[in-house]
Amino acid sequence: MDIRVGDILLMKKNHPCGQNRFLVLRSGMDFKLRCICCGREFMVPRSKAEKNIRQVQRQEEG
């Protein structure tokens, strides 16, 4: 999957705060994500994150 910094990921599972939208802060072998609702930042292995992605919302360039 082509995931870039600045994309918003809609996941299949919710964060404990109830939100399922996450901002990508870093991509590579791991993703660093920030919860849109509570602001918590965490690292997730790429393989685990890609299984749980429902939709990718691109940030428009330009």
* Nearest Cα to Cα of residue 52 among 7, 6, 15, 5: 15
pLDDT of residue 1: 81
Cβ atoms of 9 and 1 closer than 8 Å = no
Q: Which CATH number fits domain 8-57: 2.30.30, 3.40.1350, 3.60.70, 1.20.1550?
A: 2.30.30
pLDDT of the residue at 29: 95
What residue ranges do the domains of the chain occupy? Answer: 8-57
C-beta of residue 54 within 8 angstroms of C-beta of residue 10:
yes
Question: What are the pLDDT tens digits along the chain (62 aa)?
Answer: 889 999 999 999 999 999 999 999 999 999 999 999 999 999 999 999 999 999 999 977 65
The model's pTM is 0.89
Contacts of 14 (CB under 8 A, 6+ apart): 20
Q: How many whole angstroms separate alpha carbon 23 and alpha carbon 1?
A: 16
